[in-house]
């Protein structure tokens, strides 16, 4: 709420407080003022009978006002109607005795809307207008001469006009009051709907939290499963291959057997380290001290030495530092593609190309092996498979894609494309 709104609300509150004070204390003040003025002029315009009548009517008006101050019933109630009728009669009687008591009678213009029901407001205003016109026509009520009657009707016309103005103002205030009431009702209804929506939103938020936890758990399981496949499973496959060579050459070529045994041990240590890093969601060890091109070059060289397949690594474009997740994803895709080539392709040559292309980076792994029919592969089932489907899932996590081109006896080409997310 700004200063203007606060000032406006303060002004409305002050006006309402002022009118409340007027309706509580104003009748006493007007009655007292009218009494003083009438007492001063009583010797000039009041007869002895008028004085006696005033002596009776005045205490009655005061008592009526005291009673009403304690009652303060709502508009249109029987008590309110009784108060206005009796007060109007008393004001008429007092004005008959002394026209200056119209000072008290003028109350009818101000509180008629607070006392009478809406259908009785115009009648109350007209009655007050008659009393005020009689008091202001010069001779009081009833008028004493023809000219007094003429003046009475002229003044009455003026007061009727004022009555219409007051009535219009009253109708407008009533309409504003109804509008404010309707607005408040609408706001309360809107507030109730808002509270209901907030409650529903809280429930949905709780459901989303549960689903987010479940999705996070599933994603972490999928990540760990893929990491285990790419580290432990591939490492064990390599260890088995090395030990098979050791078994077959232990007697004929002990030196070669020891070399392959050392490779198996090194591969076991490397796989164990990678498994630990996967559990802690760390970047692969190959990327800890080297950038992606250097890590891929070492990976290709090691794979070539282990499998005996001639392999080449090429970088095109200008190498840039990549976000750890991008580098880890491309490295794991390259390792999986090379592992598949070693297990299934029977290739004699392989090539890995890393291309920096502005806002995109691509990784191509090719071999001249036997290839396969993509349509003959079983459908990928999420966390249940980790071959080509696993590569695609890894790429999709960073908004990338993986495409495979192959066919029987045509070799295989795996192309991964991911956005260029620079390390920063």
More confident: 392 or 240: 392
pLDDT-based confidence at residue 283 (cuts at 50, 70, 90)? low
What class, spelled out in words, does domain 308-424 have in CATH? Answer: alpha beta
Domain borders along the chain are 21-191, 308-424
Bridge-based pairing of strands 349-357 and 310-316 is parallel
Give CA–CA dist 100/143, Å, rounded.
Answer: 15
Give CA–CA dist 79/85, Å, rounded.
Answer: 10
Give CA–CA dist 51/199, Å, rounded.
Answer: 72
pLDDT-based confidence at residue 293 (cuts at 50, 70, 90)? very high
pLDDT at 5 over 50: no
- Name the strand (E) or helix (H) holding 355: strand 349-357
Q: Give the other-Cβ count within 10 Å of 410's Cβ.
A: 13
- Mean of pLDDT values over 166-176: 69
Quick: pLDDT tens for 309-334: 999 999 999 988 888 888 888 998 99
Look at residue 187 in the predicted model and tell me its pLDDT.
83
Look at residue 381 in the predicted model and tell me its pLDDT.
45
Contacts of 135 (CB under 8 A, 6+ apart): 95, 99, 100, 101, 102, 105, 141
pLDDT-based confidence at residue 351 (cuts at 50, 70, 90)? very high
Contacts of 113 (CB under 8 A, 6+ apart): 75, 121, 170, 173, 174
Task: Please say whether the dihedral angle defined by the alpha carbons of residues 380, 398, 222 and 339, taken in this order, is positive or negative.
Answer: positive
- On the CB side of 387, how many CA atoms lie within 13 Å of its CA? 11
Quick: pLDDT tens for 91-144: 888 888 888 888 888 888 777 777 888 788 778 888 888 888 777 776 556 666
Phi, psi dihedrals of residue 316, rounded to the nearest 5°: -120, 150
Listed range (3-7, 224-228, 246-250) with the worst mean pLDDT: 3-7
Quick: pLDDT tens for 61-100: 999 888 988 887 777 788 888 888 898 899 888 888 888 8
What does pLDDT average to over the chain?
78
């Amino acid at each position: 709420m700004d200063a203007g709104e606060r000032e406006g609300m303060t002004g409305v509150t002050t006006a309402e407080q002022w009118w409340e004070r007027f309706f509580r204390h104003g009748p006493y003040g007007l009655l007292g003022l009218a009494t003083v003025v009438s007492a001063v002029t009583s010797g000039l315009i009041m007869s002895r009978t008028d004085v006696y009548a005033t002596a009776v009517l005045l205490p009655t008006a005061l008592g009526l006002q005291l009673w009403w101050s304690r009652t303060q019933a709502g508009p249109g109630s029987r008590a309110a109607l009784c108060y206005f009728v009796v007060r109007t009669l008393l004001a008429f009687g007092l004005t008959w005795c002394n026209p200056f008591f119209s000072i008290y009678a003028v109350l009818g213009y101000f509180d008629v809307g607070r006392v009478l029901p809406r259908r009785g407001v115009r009648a109350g205003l007209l009655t007050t207008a008659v009393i005020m016109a009689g008091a202001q026509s010069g001779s009081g009520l009833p008028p004493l001469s023809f000219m007094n009657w003429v003046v009475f009707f002229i003044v009455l016309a003026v007061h009727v006009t004022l009555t219409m103005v007051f009535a219009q103002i009253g109708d407008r205030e009533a309409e504003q009051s109804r509008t404010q009431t309707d607005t408040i009702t609408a706001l309360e209804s809107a507030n109730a709907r808002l509270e209901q929506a907030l409650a529903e939103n809280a429930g949905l938020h709780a459901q989303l939290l549960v689903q987010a936890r479940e999705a996070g758990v599933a994603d972490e399981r999928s990540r760990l499963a893929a990491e285990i496949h790419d580290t432990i499973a591939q490492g064990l496959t390599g260890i088995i291959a090395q030990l098979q060579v050791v078994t077959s050459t232990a007697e004929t070529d002990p030196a070669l057997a020891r070399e392959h045994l050392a490779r198996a041990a090194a591969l076991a240590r490397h796989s164990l380290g990678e498994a630990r890093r996967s559990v802690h969601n760390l970047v692969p060890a190959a990327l800890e001290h080297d950038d992606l091109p250097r890590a891929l070059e070492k990976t290709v060289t090691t794979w070539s030495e282990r499998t005996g397949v001639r392999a080449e690594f090429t970088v095109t474009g200008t190498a840039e530092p990549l976000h750890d997740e991008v580098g880890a994803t491309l490295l794991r895709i390259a390792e999986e593609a090379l592992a598949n080539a070693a297990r299934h392709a029977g290739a004699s040559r392989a090539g890995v190309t890393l291309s920096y292309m502005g806002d995109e980076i691509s990784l191509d792994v090719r071999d001249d092996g036997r290839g396969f029919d993509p349509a003959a592969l079983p459908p990928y089932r999420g966390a249940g498979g980790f071959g080509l489907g696993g590569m695609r899932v890894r790429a999709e996590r960073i908004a990338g894609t993986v495409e495979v081109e192959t066919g029987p006896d045509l070799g295989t080409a795996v192309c991964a494309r991911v956005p260029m997310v620079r390390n920063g």
